Structure 1
């Protein structure tokens, strides 16, 4: 699979793009279509929101909240949508918010923005950088920061809502806006559905559902391709049980750390042994937790890992082999049947797949908005994962589309390529940054897409 940077360079030409500076979102150079009049009005309105968008974004950025703790962010969303005339429901799966705006007969369009931040310490040096630290349920403290762009997602949705309300005379239909908690844990979407998103709150079934995500590509670039876009994922915990004891008498104990480390070396060979080399899949160990002092053999050890896959059969093969390896390691150390490892599948999601016709339909107005070469429609899928599509619940026949919106300063992006990097920074890193010039561009992307689906013309 080609790197993000290499593919962008080939399709766009990073040198020309970087030197162009901020993308003029009203440019239609090389565009196969012209923007409808209502979209031209929308672009003008959004240009007038620039200062407001920056204020909202910086506020959310400075007050990040972890999964299912997004009370402040949810309150901002609810207050804004209510002021715009949306029928708002709050507290869905603890912090989720839904706003519905009915504007006559027409299609029903659903849009989502995720709200949660990361347990990462920000190191961008920005004057509005996060300094937040929170205590977790287990008593430990962690830094928190928006290092995946969810603060931009919320800002974009609110900017789009403002614009669509200002243009109510220009379109007909119903808008459903969802502010979702806990995307990082890939559990928030399913939690909202379980709590009755569709049945309890009596939402109308959408005709279309779409969402966007930040990507460290240059501002003004949109990636929107049909078919598989992101991998499925599973978060897997393996609890190894042992016999505790004194460090001076290891023969009288059974060390679960040894079992865990032995298993980890075998986990690393699973993908290559059970998945075809022609299929993308990944297994990564992210944490091992055991013991607290030097001279005590602990009673247990926990290995936390993450799976990525596109083929459900590959996923099943990987999970089965994890069970076999884990149990085999414990049995080799003489652990009885009742003390074999406990394997827990936590958050999971299936691959994100774009509807071909829907994706193609949106690309026309997006090319008119940004320019033909800045809308990438032939692009490999990402190994990252999302749970956004699970918000549809049983409505799995609704056309769905997921796009990526560039948020990196084009010059910064170009300099990173010259230094041999694949991108200037990666999501979830302490240096992840949303260029403020991406704020109005993101709003334009989703507003033009919404108008394409709701426009009376």
Structure 2
């Protein structure tokens, strides 16, 4: 019986789960894999699922999809929109949405595995389907590695993966070399001296300290990084105080950094540390700020030879003009850890999920940024077709390119 991929997708979209909480999603994945007769293991790296399709002697290809949603309230208005809620690591009740398309990733990998199982007489080797948790934490691949995924299952000869993005549906975007930036997530705590809001002279105000720091951090990229290089410094969260007439003791900044190379990473981190400490000193802080690295993601680097092979295979199947070089994305991924730790090539590509006519209209009008929702937006929702069919086909083509 053929899977109802649209039904699976809309169900997953309605029921997103936060990172390391993907229990329902993992159960659905395992159920479908076992229905195909596939050797399936749950609970890898807490909530990950691994399915192994063994088909004689030949290369081992890993196909990876991530499963987690985001703490975003969905505003798409779709009939299958999420109304789910979850509890985040801070213990807060939050809305949950598949705002990054991981539900599409899971569905397409299930569809691709179904196709590969049905076509076992025309290829040989081993396909390992890796359904990874907690990509949004940047921790899921490492959790699976720490749980022995490379030793418990056939080791890869190549790692392949894909990500839906606001390209026209049917388009593949891939490039050799650095496809996605490295990143760090930091929490900076700045310490002041609290007191009554009516007597600021008796305090050291961490809100003012934090505000000055936020503004000064913007000069790292605009004034201290070569314009020919790519770097991003984003303060995504700032928290201080509980009441309008109380000056707090501390303020916290959550910061996202992006860069394509280790050298630029070292430079940006050093500049950030200098700015944070200097602004604290300028405010008269008596306690030095605390800078904690919450996560570090390596750059996603596509193997040159494997990427060239895959581009040729995609063009042969989908036609000229179907594959573009989208440039380096400043977003980050943790898929490369699998390839890096195994010492094998990686190819990670993007595929479009936007209605092609809507994309063309926005492009002509110069309104792509405002009219086409991107990943992590409350309005992000890929069109069902041809996004689903192209995502399945791309994985099957990629797998077969590197299988016997």
Question: What TM-score comes out, normalization by structure 1 length?
Answer: 0.85
Task: Find the aligned partners of 1:422 and 1:253 in 2 and give their Cα distance.
Answer: 47
Q: What is the SS of the residue equivalent to 1:413?
A: helix
1:360 aligned onto 2:291? no
Separation in structure 2 between the aligned mates of residue 189 and residue 389 of structure 1, nearest angstrom: 9
Residues of 2 paired with 1:181 and 1:399: CA distance?
22
Give the counterpart of 2:52 among 100, 103, 111. 100
The reply on whether 1:431 has 2:375 as its aligned counterpart is no
Maintained 8 Å contact 2:159/2:338:
no
Q: How many Å apart are 1:393 and its aligned residue?
A: 5.1
2:58 alignment partner, SS class? coil
What is the aligned partner in structure 2 of residue 19 from structure 1?
A: none
| Structure 1: distance between partners of 2:351 and 2:31 | 26
Q: Which moved more, 1:220-229 or 1:52-61?
A: 220-229
Contact kept in structure 2, 1:53 and 1:440, CA below 8 Å:
no
1:62 aligns with 2:14: yes
Correspondence for 1:110 among 41, 47, 62: 62
Does structure 2 retain, via aligned residues, the 8 Å contact 1:284–1:306? yes
Counterpart CA distance in 2 for 1:302 and 1:91 is 34
Query: What residue in structure 2 maps to residue 402 of structure 1?
Result: 348
Contact 1:193 1:393 in 2 (8 A): no
| 2:296 alignment counterpart | 348
Q: Does the alignment pair 1:289 with 2:289?
A: no
CA distance in 1, matches of 2:91, 2:125: 48
Could you tell me how far apart the structure 1 residues matched to 2:65 and 2:240 are? 37
Does the 8 Å CA contact 1:160/1:443 hold for their aligned counterparts?
yes
* 1:79 Cα deviation after fit: 1.5
Deviations 1:24-52 (A, max 9, x none): xxxxxxxxxxxxxxxxxxxxxxxx95x71
2:393 is aligned with 1:447: no
Query: Could you tell me which residue of structure 1 aligns to residue 90 of structure 2?
Result: 138
Change (3 A) 1:328 1:284: same
> What is aligned with 2:25?
73
Q: String of CA shifts for 1:40-72, please: whole Å, max 9, x gaps.
A: xxxxxxxx95x7110000010000011111111
Give the Å deviation of 1:128: 0.6
3-state SS in 2 of match to 1:394? helix
Do the aligned partners of 1:274 and 1:314 also contact (CA within 8 Å) in 2?
A: no
For residue 309 of structure 1, report the CA deviation from its aligned partner. Answer: 0.3
The structure with higher relative contact order (CA 8 Å, sep 6+) is 1
Matches of 1:214 and 1:160 in 2, distance apart? 15
| Shift of residue 196, structure 1, vs aligned partner | 2.2
In 2, the alpha carbon distance for the partners of 1:358 and 1:123 equals 39
Report what 2:197 is aligned to: 247
Partners of 1:419 and 1:65 in 2: how far apart?
36
Structure 2 length-normalised TM: 0.95
Answer yes or no: is the 8 Å Cα contact 2:158–2:339 preserved in 1.
Answer: no
Q: Secondary structure at the match of 1:111?
A: strand
5+ residue gaps in structure 1?
Answer: 1-47
Moved more, 155-164 or 73-82: 73-82
Give the Cα separation in 1 of the matches to 2:273 and 2:102: 35
Provide the C-alpha distance between the structure 2 equivalents of 1:280 and 1:53, rounded to a whole number of angstroms.
38
SS of the equivalent of 1:372 reads coil
Which residue in the other structure is 1:330 paired with? 280
Structure 1 vs Structure 2 CA RMSD: 1.6
2:178 corresponds to 1:178: no
* Distance of 2:14 and 2:365 partners within structure 1: 30
- Aligned twin of 1:234: 184
The alpha-carbon deviation at position 137 of structure 1 amounts to 4.2
- Give structure 2 stretches of 5+ with no counterpart: none
2-structure distance, mates of 1:256, 1:326: 12
Question: Which of residues 325, 328, 331 is equivalent to 1:384?
Answer: 331
SS in 1 for 2:150: coil
| In structure 2, distance between residues paired with 1:257 and 1:379 | 40
- The answer to whether the 8 A contact 1:61-1:130 is kept is yes
Describe the superposition over 1:324-347 as per-residue Cα deviations: whole angstroms up to 9, x where unpaired. 1111222233333xx211101112
Instruction: Look up the match of 1:374.
Output: 322
CA distance in 2, matches of 1:303, 1:69: 26
